[in-house]
Structure 1
Amino acid sequence: MKMKQRSIEEYVFREYDLYPIRVAPHRNVFRITTDWGEFALKFTQMPGHFIEGIFHTVQYLHNRGFTHLCPIIPNKFGDVVVPGNEGCYYLSPWVSGKHEILEEQWEEEVVGLMATMHHLTGSEESVYMDEEWLKGIAFRWKSKMKRMKYCYQVARSREYPSPFDVVFATNFTSLWEIGKKAHRILLNWSKGRKVKLKKCFTHGHIHQNNMIYTSEGKWVWIDLHHCRMDSPIRDMKSFYRHHLSAYDWKFEIGESWQEIYQDYHPLEKEEWILLYLLLLFPEPVISLIDRYYMKNCQWSEIKSVTKLEREIHSIYQSDTFLTGKLYTMGDLEPLTD
């Protein structure tokens, strides 16, 4: 639900003993200004017990000295969430700062912080994913490629193609070949495979829009309602996709990030290969294309084309890096038609 379509029920303020001077929508939260501080009030449709689990994990991390996750403030009764219409609210302190900094390769610090969080919350219980599970990923990829092919046929059939149609149709063959390559590598690699995946607390959306650099020179991660126990691959895939593209997927930068992560929270070779396979498949651009042709895209034509061109450029740049990483890590057979 869009923020501008939602107003806060009055009782929510009473639950926190808040007496607002000003309430302003800001991105996907409400910025609450009071005489004794500023707060971020978030509405979510996630179940309340999920938010409670996040609250306790963030507390655990703060007690261990890892204070880079924005804390959640219980209400005056000690409840972590306040029920609302079709969801619930949770409150956090307002974090002032900026989302961008000028220092070169600031991402290396964030990779180290991400690995530290994963290490501190790592579960002793690992999950083993076998060949059938990996083939399930391949099956989903094949379904997505069929959707992309259908969208291509729609684009080609239009008497008056849109700018989006033209860009997509021009690049379809290359995108198809990259997707097919990822699919074939995954199927070849999955034969007789059992992948041991570590489990830890993951943020899910670690990228610049959800990170604030404070005046004290500290990174604080916000927007925690998607956090959950999962494979660290979840966070790394999101971060690589958002930020390695800024360096045109240069091999030495990606290699450096992997080495930094390994220093704090070592992963098995199979975990890295799975990460790079997931990154190789052009899922972001396929999802964007699907949204456009299924009329689920709320952007203007110009913005849609701009995002498509940016995603396609990133896919082409990443192809060289990821294919190189997959084969230099070994035990992958050359593709044959």
Structure 2
Amino acid sequence: MKQQNMSRQELQQVFTQYGFTPHKVTQINRIFRVETDQGTYALKWTKQPAEKLMMIYDILQHACEKGYRHVIPWVKTESDEAYVMTTSGNWYATPWIESAEQELFAPSTDALLESLAQLHQLSAPLVKRYPKFKNQLNEPFIERWKERKEKTAEYFHFARKRDIPSPLDHSFLEQASYLEKAFDFSIRGVERFLQAERGKAPRYTLCHARIHPKHVLISESGWYWIDFDHAVIDTPVRDIATFYRQFGDPDREDISTYLSHYEEESSLKRIEEKLLAVYLAYPLRPYQVLKSYYGDESSVNESYSVGEFDRAIAQLGRFQEVIQTLWQKRDKVQLQERKNKRFSREQEGLQETELGLADEPVQFPIFPHSPPDS
């Protein structure tokens, strides 16, 4: 939606629905800061359908009622609706939270992950009401992963044929085999998951789907996950893997401990651990750097691209310890659970499955080529 085409008539319609009588309105992208005598509000336009907004409202409201403090409750209209429909899209409002200095009030990565687990745990019972928005791993999902692998191969051939390779070409060519193995491992993992479980996750919850530092609002009174417009009902593994990519501290010696903070609030099932290993093995960040670089070379910054690629490769290398821990993790309780599950399946005439790899030995490191030091 072009912001300059936002009509005053439409805004006034939204203000009326909420009972706002603004004395100052400031537009910041798709958000309007609306100052009234009753308070200041954030009013956001979205193209998400009303049914989805209702789902997001219900789940976040439930979390707030259960004492969860890291989402901002929505403000209802005067007719007790969670949003306003207009010809251009839909609108929802929250109290305006003033941001504060991040260095003084920023939460730790451990606290963020614990809060994410709490949100997943609180929302899990409600998602059954919204089967329409449930994501399930399927063939198109796997095809997207394969297409990215094929695109990476195209970039490889282009870089290798260049008469004068660029600095990024050199870095990429050195790591091409490493990336290919990462693609192969992760694609094989999701294919076996689809075959064994038909793509159905062991449990579903509300996933933010766009976990990122810019979607954490930090104020003097606390911090909040924001921008749930693209939230989906999916396996919690999706958010956890994104969290590792976006919030992983490069200076932290043992990033495998992150998961222990999540599991203090919500334990992962064995198959979820393996699925997380597969998600983390997928070389998304290196691919994104390559796509940006080779997709539009006219606008690239060479030194920046090289730095981003090296950091992405280094991060993928650091994930190996987490992947190995997740893949090989065993304890007596889990072994007994698997025995019980196998016995139950045998009684029902079913084969034991667990990504199709339950008893397959895995050699580590998964990717023989070590990433460069960074």
TM category (shorter chain) comes to 0.7 to 0.9
Question: Is structure 2 residue 216 aligned with structure 1 residue 214?
Answer: no
SS at match of 2:250: helix
Partner of 1:272: 273
Residue among 197, 201, 205 paired with 1:200: 205
Counterparts of 1:33 and 1:162, CA distance in 2: 52
The question of whether the paired residues in 2 share the 8 Å contact of 1:123 and 1:198 is answered with: no
Distance 1:105 1:45, change over 3 A: closer
Residue among 138, 150, 154 paired with 1:146: 150
Q: Please report how far the alpha carbon of residue 88 of structure 1 lies from its aligned counterpart in structure 2 after TM superposition.
A: 2.6
Partner of 1:233: 237
Deviates more, 1:164-173 or 1:114-123: 164-173
Q: Which runs of 5+ in 2 are unaligned?
A: 331-357, 369-374
Taking only aligned residues, the RMSD between alpha carbons, in angstroms, comes to 3.7
Distance 1:254 1:8, change over 3 A: farther
Counterparts of 1:215 and 1:104, CA distance in 2: 9
Opposite residue 327 of structure 2, the aligned amino acid is L
The question of whether the paired residues in 1 share the 8 Å contact of 2:201 and 2:235 is answered with: no
Deviations along 1:285-319, whole A, 9 cap, x unmatched? 21332344334997655544443333222122223
Distance 1:156 1:99, change over 3 A: farther
Distance 1:79 1:160, change over 3 A: farther
Larger Rg belongs to: 2
Deviations along 1:198-227, whole A, 9 cap, x unmatched? 1122222233221123212x2211111122
Partner of 1:333: 361
Q: Please report how far the alpha carbon of residue 138 of structure 1 lies from its aligned counterpart in structure 2 after TM superposition.
A: 5.4
Partner of 1:23: 26
Distance 1:158 1:234, change over 3 A: same
Q: Which runs of 5+ in 1 are unaligned?
A: none
Superposition map of 1:229-308 within 5 A: 229-247=233-251, 250-251=253-254, 253-255=255-257, 257-295=258-296, 300=301, 303-308=304-309
Superposition map of 1:34-73 within 5 A: 34=36, 36-73=38-75
Residue identity (%): 22
TM score, norm. by length of structure 2: 0.72
Counterparts of 1:237 and 1:297, CA distance in 2: 32
The question of whether the paired residues in 1 share the 8 Å contact of 2:99 and 2:217 is answered with: yes
Distance 1:84 1:157, change over 3 A: farther
The question of whether the paired residues in 2 share the 8 Å contact of 1:291 and 1:297 is answered with: no
Distance 1:274 1:297, change over 3 A: farther
Distance 1:206 1:141, change over 3 A: closer
The question of whether the paired residues in 2 share the 8 Å contact of 1:244 and 1:254 is answered with: no
Q: Please report how far the alpha carbon of residue 270 of structure 1 lies from its aligned counterpart in structure 2 after TM superposition.
A: 0.8
SS at match of 2:57: helix
SS at match of 1:197: coil
Opposite residue 204 of structure 2, the aligned amino acid is K
Question: Is structure 2 residue 160 aligned with structure 1 residue 156?
Answer: yes
Partner of 1:106: 108
Deviations along 1:135-172, whole A, 9 cap, x unmatched? 87655433321110012222333445555444433432
Partner of 2:83: 81
Partner of 2:318: 317
Superposition map of 1:93-132 within 5 A: 93-98=95-100, 100-101=102-103, 106-123=108-125
The question of whether the paired residues in 2 share the 8 Å contact of 1:68 and 1:221 is answered with: yes
Deviates more, 1:28-37 or 1:146-155: 28-37
The question of whether the paired residues in 2 share the 8 Å contact of 1:280 and 1:323 is answered with: no
SS at match of 2:124: coil
Distance 1:80 1:332, change over 3 A: same
The question of whether the paired residues in 2 share the 8 Å contact of 1:205 and 1:239 is answered with: no
Counterparts of 1:42 and 1:198, CA distance in 2: 31
Counterparts of 1:231 and 1:73, CA distance in 2: 29
Deviations along 1:38-91, whole A, 9 cap, x unmatched? 332322221122112212222222222213211222344444333456533322
Counterparts of 2:90 and 2:105, CA distance in 1: 38
The question of whether the paired residues in 2 share the 8 Å contact of 1:164 and 1:301 is answered with: yes
